[in-house]
Amino acid sequence: MKRALVLGASGGMGYSIVNELTDRGIEVIAFARTKKKLEKLFSAKQNVTIFTGDIFKLEDLMEAAANVDIIFQAANIPYPEWEEKLVNFIGQVVQVTETKNIKLALVDNIYAYGKNPGIKVNEQTPKNPHTKKGNIRLQVANMVMQANNKSFIAHFPDFYGPNAENTLLHYTLQRALANKPSIYIGNQKIAREFIFTPDGAKALVELALNETSYGEEWNIPGHSVITGEEIVKIIRELTGYNKKVFTVTKSMIQMLGLFNPMMREVVELFYLNEDPVVLSGEKFERRIGPLPRTSYYDGLKQTIDYMRGTVKV
């Protein structure tokens, strides 16, 4: 791999993928909608070319993919737009890879697995989506796996990390760092899984560099499961924060959904906070090697440092 296109480069996972690729000496086309944010993130980075465009325009995707070996799809589409746009968008990405004979690495979530089957979910676990978004993700996965190109799909739990702003833990951290009463979405006593975005990017790039990864789906777990109470304790240790952290319940989200389209879409995924799906990384470790597993303490410290501006962008 000499040159890669990263879609959604200004988002949390996209940012970490760009950094991981450039750290390995790989040239990157960083694609997003907002030039100002791309420049803020990557202007000091060598081997990064900024491309501003519309991910829903085939001509923009075709132009950005000129002379690249692979596309990393990490663009985040708002939930209310999934039904109308997501399948068509991924279809266009697949079309670009087929037309230009290049590879595709797709960043995916765990929605297609459906409810917790009572075991750690591996790649052979049947997908039984019970939500609208889960069914859309399954449709996308089937389309990618049936495409006439070299592709793989990586499933991740919820993200946290530097520049990962559209995440559950970001809202908790943001208010804590402002020294205001904060929130945690879901029962703070229930253990669930999060992945540090630089770890996710390392695993994704390792897969992309291994020819045997293509044509398959891969589960990439976080360090371990952790409760909200444990996360809040770490935040307090790292920052001295002593305000209350309130639990956001499903009924609260439902109430907000009466006025906010995004919250209406979040309600159907609340099951992940109540009975979490946990991924098995056994296949990755058997076939590729050890998974990157930054501890929650170190991952939260790096995230907090980034949010405070003490880490150079």
Whole-number pLDDT of residue 188:
96
pLDDT higher than threshold 90 for residue 263: no
* % of the chain with per-residue pLDDT over 90: 90
Owner of token pair 């777990």: 221
Q: So what's the pLDDT on residue 214? A: 98
Q: What pLDDT, on a 0 to 100 scale, did the predictor assign at position 252?
A: 87
Mean pLDDT of 5-25: 97
Q: With bands split at pLDDT 50, 70 and 90, how would you rate the model's confidence at 311?
A: low
Q: Model pTM greater than 0.75?
A: yes
Domains, the chain, ordered by start: 3-161+194-222+277-293 (3.40.50.720)
- Alpha carbons 85 and 56: distance in angstroms, whole number: 8
Residue 312 has pLDDT above 60, yes or no: no
- pLDDT per residue as tens digits for the range 185-220: 999 999 999 999 999 999 999 999 999 999 999 999
User: What CA–CA distance (Å, rounded) separates 16 from 289?
Assistant: 20
Residue 313 confidence (pLDDT) above 50: no
Cα dihedral 134→265→76→229 (10° resolution): -90
Mean pLDDT for the stretch of residues 52-70: 97
Decide the pairing of beta strands 103-108 and 70-73: parallel
- DSSP character string of 123-140: TTSPPB--SHHHHHHHHH
Residue 188: CB partners within 8 Å, gap ≥ 6? 227, 228, 229, 232, 245, 247
Q: What is the pLDDT of residue 256?
A: 73
* Mean local confidence (pLDDT), 60-77: 97
Average pLDDT score over the chain? 95
Is the pLDDT score of 101 beyond 50? yes
